[in-house]
Structure 1
């Protein structure tokens, strides 16, 4: 993989995650309540869904920011992959099959970020501390 190709992959998934978090943060209560409503028919209890609904936008925002800046890129790939797997499990529990393809594409992008993080350019990861 060429370094510029990796930058586009990193920025693409970074913009998506940053945007997901950014638009949800101002309406955190509404977003979390909506998640509880969506999961009301599933076996996952409200006491687990509600806090996750409050944390998710912050995770999305943070992951997106890390990727946009190219900071801790390998870690962002791992965290993002784990987050996507959790979201895919939740999506399956409420039988929201139309959301799975998008989540699988996001997972693939996080795998690429993790796998090729050594190709990272135009990134804070490449700034060496002065001695």
Structure 2
């Protein structure tokens, strides 16, 4: 994978994470209430859903910014993958099969980014190495 292709793939993932977090942050309480209601009939207790619903938009926003900038890339990619695994698990528990392909695509993009991390030359990681 060449450096430009890697940058484009990193930006695609970053913009998606950033966008998800950005639109949820201003309406955090409403998003949390929606998530609690959505998972009310799942086997997950509200004591897990409520804190996660507040953490998720912040995590998405932060991961998005860091991916776009290309800073702390290996750790950020792993963090993004962990977020996607948690989301996929929750999606399966509520049988929201329509959302699963998008989440899987995000996870696959993150795996590819991690696999080819040596192509991450157009990034703040490389700038700070010098």
Select between 117-126 and 20-29 the one with higher mean Cα deviation. Answer: 117-126
* Structure 2: runs of 5 or more not aligned: none
**d(CA) in 2 for partners of 1:80, 1:117:** 14
Report how far residue 58 of structure 1 moved.
0.3
CA contact (8 A) 1:73 1:113 kept: no
CA contact (8 A) 2:67 2:76 kept: yes
What does residue 39 of structure 2 align with? Answer: 39
Secondary structure, aligned partner of 2:99: helix
Match of 2:70 in 1: 70
Count of aligned positions: 130
Distance, in Å, in 2 between the alignment partners of 1:129 and 1:47 is 42
Match of 1:111 in 2: 111
* Distance (whole Å) between structure 1 residues aligned to residue 59 and residue 78 of structure 2: 13
Quick one: distance in 1 between partners of 2:129 and 2:41? Answer: 52
d(CA) in 2 for partners of 1:129, 1:92: 41
Pairing 1:3-82 to 2, within 5 Å after superposition: 3-82=3-82
Instruction: Give the aligned partner of residue 125 of structure 1.
Output: 125
Q: TM-score, normalised by structure 1?
A: 0.96
What is the Cα deviation at residue 128 of structure 1?
A: 3.4
**CA-based RMSD:** 1.0
TM-score (norm 2): 0.97
Q: List alignment gaps of at least 5 residues for structure 1.
A: none
4+ residue segments displaced more than 4 Å: none
Alignment partners' CA distance in 2, 1:80 and 1:65: 12
